Amino acid sequence: MIAVQTVLTRLLTHPVFILAMIVALFFGAAWLTPGTVAILGFLMLNIMLAQSMNLLTGIAGQISLGHAGFYGMGAYASGILMKTAGLPFIVTVPAAGLIGALTGWLLSIPAGRVREFYLAMMTLAFGLIFREIVREWDDLTGGAVGLSGVPSTTLRTLKVLGFSLDALDYFRLVLVVTAIVMWLVHNFIQSHYGRAFYAIHASEVAAGCLGIPRGGTKRMAYTLAAGMAGLAGGLYAHMIGYLGPESFDLARSIEVLVTTVVGGLGSMAGQILSAIVFTFLPEKLQVFAQYQFIVYGLILAFSLILLPRGLAGLLLLPPRFIRPASLRQATADGVAIRPVEPGTGAGLSVDHVTMRFGGLTAVDDVSLELRPGRITALIGPNGSGKSTLVNVISGIYRPAAGTVRFFGEAITGLRDDAIASAGLLRTFQDPRLVPRFTVRENLLLGAHRRYRTGLVSAALSLPAAAREEATFLSTVDAVTKMAGIADVADRPLESLPYGYRRLVEVGRALLAEPRAILLDEPAAGLSEAEMALLARLIRAMKDAGLMVLLIEHHMDFVAELVDDVVVLDSGRVIYHGDIQGMRRSPAVIEAYLGTPETAHA
């Protein structure tokens, strides 16, 4: 099976094959019947819609139940702008895309504060309202009767840049536009933007702690996806010359979603396969027209049970999220941890921080300080508030009282991504990585905050974008070597044992070039050999001048590394000093270490 998948993937995603297909369709269409050319035109639009849904749902993990609404916005916008306002094609079709994008952006404004469910409901409501407005606003849209007489190839009334286009010409135009859009999306997905979409999909909290803003990233996903759907709608309007509200109802939105799921969420090639199936299938299923919801429901149910990763999961290898060209450009002279400038002020200081959950005071008036080039251990029994303190410092929780300062500036109450962007990174007690990403892709995610490549540069895959990516890939190589995970760099994380995940998570934080790093039980679940690798990493961080906070239970591991120790019990600091003193402290012995004998064991 793997062999079949490998061959198919190599073939279907090979640039030469793709180009050959486009050329074959472009010229070959002249020999096809008008009916077939029309269906191929719809196929292009369905591909664009499926890719749009895939970008939003498959990549970014957001759901749209109103895709037909974005599509319809584009279609009516271009139709009305041309028919009524007399604007030319090269204005109205891009305008359709922009209007779709604007709608997607408006709907996703609350994205930073609400859960996916809420946005999914917003898109559902939008889709339903859009259809009602189209039906009611007779003057503009033609209402339930529809809008006819839109300049189109069917009516032989469409002019583009002064040329009158027939159905064949128009198909070719749609083919080229679709191919260009696919190319841009493909580049986008294999850039740090696309990987950020996937990071939000896997864990918003973890993404935020790498400096990836959840609100902005989701808004970008909705905006781009809705823009693509709007563009497809604009092209649709001039294909048939008639627009009716029934083409943009809930059933159409569901159809797009089903196409995407069946194709395989996350796979661009899968979307094309699925769009082919769903463009040609309805012709054969005409008899079931009145049962379309049932048919789609059954297809969806069967595909989820039999093909959890869709057609792509069955036929193709998993997609990758780094451009091969950038990989080839990476050099062997990357530096895993660059020495940091000491900076001014006191490093990281936590002053009288208190955090409550309802009646429980998880962190009670805690003060501590981290300094460049020093490792501070934070220890204490389970439930003593260690992780909660890290969550407060990294901006996940807002404390009830107290201040956290980073190089003298108060960061209390800032968003997690803003804190990460300032160079304060953390890892999680339960590793939070992207399971489908390889080790290398996960590590590269850490560099997100350091990218300067803009959206346009990424989508066009300009040389500067590839160069920047190659620089970070060189650092990734150095980090995988130092962390002892170089031999699994191209393995998907979900296929690796637990110990690797911890090392990958620590490595990922290093890619962000932190000035301070908070490690929440990084050694839990590691073998002796892996612990030695981790210790080497932590020492290298210290040598490079980072501030390190290490939460750890293995006393031998801690003793070898740390400069300072802070012990928590029930949210309070019960000891602050060096490790020898901690071992003699009666309070620590009673709360945490047990009898003095076991403490020394």
Binding interface with ligand ADP (CB under 6 A):
357, 360, 362, 380, 382-388
Query: Could you tell me the smallest distance in angstroms from the CB atom of residue 517 to Mg ion?
Result: 16
Q: Which two tokens stand for residue 79?
A: 């139709």
Size of residue set near Mg ion by CB under 5 A = 3
Report what 318 binds from Mg ion, ligand ADP, none; CB cut-off 5-8 Å by kind. Answer: none
**HEC sequence for 36-62:** HHHHHHHHHHHHHHHHHHHHHHHHCCC
Interacting span for Mg ion (CB under 5 A) from 283-291, 394-402, 427-435, 562-570 = 427-435
Q: Whole-number minimum distance, CB 172 to ligand ADP, in Å?
A: 57
Which option in ligand ADP, Mg ion, none does residue 290 bind, with CB closer than 5 to 8 A by kind? none
CA-based end-to-end distance of the chain: 53
Q: Which residues pair with 282 in a beta bridge?
A: none
5: amino acid identity, one letter: Q
Site string (364-403) toward Mg ion, x via CB under 5 A: ----------------------xx----------------
Site for Mg ion in 301-320 (CB under 5 A): none
Looking at the Cβ atoms of 174 and 548, the one nearer to ligand ADP is 548
Question: Pick from ligand ADP, Mg ion, none: which does 480 bind, CB < 5 to 8 A by kind?
Answer: none
Residue closer to ligand ADP (CB basis): 152 or 387: 387
Tokens of 560: 């070898």
From the list ligand ADP, Mg ion, none, partner contacted by residue 143 (C-beta under 5 to 8 A by kind) = none
Q: Are 273 and 312 in contact (CB under 8 A)?
A: yes
Q: State the minimum distance, in angstroms, from the CB of residue 539 to ligand ADP.
A: 24
Question: Which part of the chain contacts Mg ion (CB under 5 A), choosing from 63-71, 422-430, 477-485, 503-511?
Answer: 422-430
Contacting range for Mg ion; rule: CB under 5 A; set: 18-26, 113-121, 265-273, 425-433 = 425-433
Instruction: Give the whole-angstrom CA distance, residue 57 versus residue 54.
Output: 5
Query: Between 13 and 429, whose beta carbon lies closer to Mg ion?
Result: 429
Minimum Å distance from CB 600 to ligand ADP?
23
For ligand ADP, the closer of residues 214 and 320 by Cβ is 214
- The least CB distance from residue 357 to ligand ADP, in Å, is 3
Q: Which residue has the tokens 């402290």?
A: 585
Residue 291 binding result from Mg ion, ligand ADP, none, given CB thresholds of 5 to 8 Å by partner type: none
CA distance 557 to 570: 23
Please state the closest distance from residue 507 (CB atom) to ligand ADP, in A: 22
**Measured from the CB of residue 219, what is the shortest distance to ligand ADP in angstroms?**
27
Residues 6+ apart with CB under 8 A from 541: 337, 375, 510, 517, 548
Q: In sequence order, which residues have a C-beta less than 8 Å from that of residue 444 and are 6 or more positions away? A: 192, 195, 322, 469, 472, 473, 476, 511
Structure tokens at 94: 């891009």
Q: Taking the complex as a whole, how short is the minimal distance between the CB of residue 530 and ligand ADP, in angstroms?
A: 21
Q: Exposure pattern of 294-304 as b/e (b: 16+ CB <10 Å)?
A: ebbeebeeebe
CB of 276 to ligand ADP, least distance (A): 47
What burial class does residue 112 get, using C-beta atoms within 10 Å of its C-beta: 0-12 exposed, 13-18 middle, 19+ buried? middle
Nearer to Mg ion, 239 or 588 (CB): 588
Q: How far is CA 370 from the centre of its chain?
A: 32
Closest to ligand ADP by CB, 203 or 223: 203
Q: Which tokens belong to 502?
A: 């911890």
Q: What, of Mg ion, ligand ADP, none, does residue 142 touch, CB below 5 to 8 Å by kind?
A: none
Q: Out of ligand ADP, Mg ion, none, which partner does residue 362 contact, by CB within 5 to 8 A per kind?
A: ligand ADP
Residue 69: partners with Cβ closer than 8 Å, 6 or more residues away: 103, 123, 126, 127, 130, 131, 248, 253
Q: Choose among Mg ion, ligand ADP, none what residue 57 binds, the Cβ cut-off being 5 to 8 Å by kind.
A: none
For 410, the enclosing helix (H) or strand (E) is strand 409-410
Least Cβ distance, residue 469 to ligand ADP (angstroms):
36
Q: Whole-number minimum distance, CB 599 to ligand ADP, in Å?
A: 19
Nearer to Mg ion, 148 or 361 (CB): 361
Measure CA 361 to chain center: 35
How far, in Å, are 39, 124, 158 from residue 239 at the CA level?
11, 27, 9
Answer with the entry of ligand ADP, Mg ion, none that 203 interacts with (C-beta below 5 to 8 A by kind).
none
Q: Residue 53 corresponds to which amino acid?
A: M
Of 318 and 385, which CB lies nearer to Mg ion in the complex structure? Answer: 385
387 versus 480: smaller Cβ distance to Mg ion: 387
- Among Mg ion, ligand ADP, none, residue 260 binds (CB under 5-8 Å by kind): none
Residue 383 contact among Mg ion, ligand ADP, none, beta carbon within 5 to 8 Å by kind: ligand ADP
Contact in structure between 259 and 49 (CB atoms under 8 Å) = yes
AA identity, residue 10: R
How far is Cα of residue 232 from the mean position of the Cα atoms in its chain?
23
Of 176-184, 278-286, 426-434, 454-462, the segment contacting Mg ion by CB under 5 A is: 426-434
Question: In angstroms, what is the minimal distance from the CB of 518 to Mg ion?
Answer: 12
Closer residue to ligand ADP, CB minimum distance, 243 or 558: 558
Q: Closest residue (Cβ) to Mg ion?
A: 387
Give a three-class secondary structure readout of 332-397.
CCCCCCCCCCCCCCCCEEEEEEEEEECCEEEEEEEEEEECCCCEEEEECCCCCCHHHHHHHHCCCC
Q: Which residues are paired to 564 by β-bridges?
A: 376
Residues 389, 363: contact at Cβ < 8 Å?
yes
Q: Closer CB to ligand ADP, residue 273 or residue 558?
A: 558
Query: For residues 112 and 381, which CB has a smaller minimum distance to Mg ion in the complex?
Result: 381
429 binds Mg ion (CB under 5 A): yes
3 state SS of 594: coil
Where do contacts with Mg ion occur on this chain (CB under 5 A)? 386-387, 429
